[in-house]
Amino acid sequence: MTQDTRRLAWLPPERAFVVQFYADTMLDTAHMAGRVEHVISGQVGHFHSLTTLLSFITRVLVEGEMVGEAEV
């Protein structure tokens, strides 16, 4: 396995998200807001804090793992 192949294995597309911050967002935990989209499923969420952003990402990843287990 080449180094590039190993690196890609650590970055699976099922774990890819696009995070877009509103223009007025100051990147601190007091005012972090925007939109997040899961690349593979297209699920979209809006967040108003780091906590809600991480909650969305966690929920989508857990759902994806449960679907993957069901398909096995």
pTM of full prediction above 0.85 = no
Per-residue pLDDT band at 7 (split at 50, 70, 90): low
- 11-50: per-residue pLDDT in tens? 899 999 999 999 988 877 677 899 999 999 999 999 999 8
Q: Is residue 5 part of a domain?
A: no
Cβ–Cβ < 8 Å for 5, 15:
no
Q: Is residue 44 part of a domain?
A: yes
Counted domains in the chain: 1
> What domain range includes position 38?
13-71
Q: Is residue 3 part of a domain?
A: no
Q: Is residue 21 part of a domain?
A: yes
Q: Is residue 6 part of a domain?
A: no
CATH number at residue 39: 3.30.160
Q: Is residue 7 part of a domain?
A: no
Report the alpha-carbon distance of residue 54 to residue 16 in Å, rounded.
Answer: 13
Q: Is residue 40 part of a domain?
A: yes
Report the chain's terminal Cα–Cα distance, integer Å. Answer: 25
Residue 1 pLDDT > 80, yes or no? Answer: no
